[in-house]
Amino acid sequence: MIKVNNLKKIYGGQTVLNVPTITIGKGESFGLVGNNGAGKTTFFRLILDLIRADSGEVLSKEKDVTKTEDWKLYTGSYLDEGFLIDYLSPEEYFNFVGKLNGLSRGEVEQFFEIFKEFFNNEILSKKKYIRDLSKGNQKKVGITAALMTKPEILILDEPFSNIDPSSQFQLKKILKGYQQENQMTMLISSHDLNHVTEVCQRIVVLHEGEVVHDLQTNENTLKELEAYFAVKGEGKGMMNDE
């Protein structure tokens, strides 16, 4: 579904991402973990053609994402507030996204039914613009809009941060359900090892722009990851002590 070849991004002489090759198959749920500055967002932005790679290519369904706009038809994404139109109400935003993807008003309203619990009565018919919602609720709006179009590829950056525990639980359920029902290819980044190992079958660890681990999730994965980051954390602590 997605294939990455020799992908490299350099900012001001500093390599922030360097991925020789990664292939993500159809229906795969792919979790990206790493500390701040590891290159997670950069990786997603490159897949979404938001920034220019210094070398290499991203192929979506065998087509270079920089050369065609076809991938936009089947890719849903939410990275940050830059994906929200803050002067619209959530309903207007959903309808707009629906319209862009050829959904009718009725179809959009059906989705509201599915997301009812996730919204927890804080999103719809509140007579508020998105800019006046809390950070967590803004994130819910963005994630929902990305999912609403039933995309073949879903890309979410830190979907679990800023939202409350009940909503995190709901979101995991929704994501798993969607993925199994629609054979959706899912790319998620997270700081939270618990959530990401629960949702994803495959975990890739990025460190300073390089892939350092590529694991299929099993019962030991969480422990392995915790051990890996604990060592990193201690290493940092030691450096501070010096």
Q: Candidates 18, 29, 60, 89: give the one binding another protein (CB under 8 A).
A: 89
Which tokens go with 215?
């694991």
Contacts of residue 107, Cβ cutoff 8 Å, sequence gap at least 6:
98
Q: Candidates 113, 127, 239, 241: give the one binding another protein (CB under 8 A).
A: 127
The reply to whether 60 sits near another protein by the rule CB under 8 A is: no
The reply to whether 92 sits near another protein by the rule CB under 8 A is: yes
The reply to whether 75 sits near another protein by the rule CB under 8 A is: yes
Pick from 179, 165, 111: nearest CA to 141: 111
| Whole-number Å distance between alpha carbons of 209 and 40 | 8
Which tokens go with 42?
């950069």
Q: Candidates 84, 123, 143, 148: give the one binding another protein (CB under 8 A).
A: 84
Q: Candidates 100, 212, 227, 230: give the one binding another protein (CB under 8 A).
A: 100
Pick from 173, 186, 190: nearest CA to 225: 190
Closest CB to another protein among residues 95, 182 = 95
The reply to whether 121 sits near another protein by the rule CB under 8 A is: no
Instruction: Give the range of 68-76, 165-173, 197-205, 212-220 binding another protein by CB under 8 A.
Output: 68-76
Determine the straight-line distance between the first and last CA of the chain, rounded to whole angstroms. Answer: 47
The reply to whether 79 sits near another protein by the rule CB under 8 A is: yes
> What are the CA-CA distances from residue 82 to residues 48, 67, 115, 139, 173 (Å)?
13, 23, 22, 11, 26
Binding stretches for another protein (CB under 8 A):
11-12, 14, 48-52, 69, 72-73, 75, 77, 79-89, 92, 95-97, 99-101, 127-129, 131-132, 149
